[in-house]
Structure 1
């Protein structure tokens, strides 16, 4: 993904792997505020 600029100052949507909760934050929140599951950046493709 060399053509994608990653700017850590921009907010990104993060989605919970467990319950699907989506939050927008500048940094990865780590765990879901609703269920405690792992969060992923929705702009990062899963391979």
Structure 2
């Protein structure tokens, strides 16, 4: 149970870092979207 909580905290901290770094933004309609530049960087690393 403790390890599950630690894993969840790590996930939430990573998500918070994405918001702070501008990777994830929230539009006027309240929908979360990934920054276009972040998506392009992901595609470049996959290739």
Could you state the TM-score of these two structures normalised by the residue count of structure 1? 0.24
User: Which is richer in strand?
Assistant: 1
TM-score, length-normalised on structure 2?
Answer: 0.24
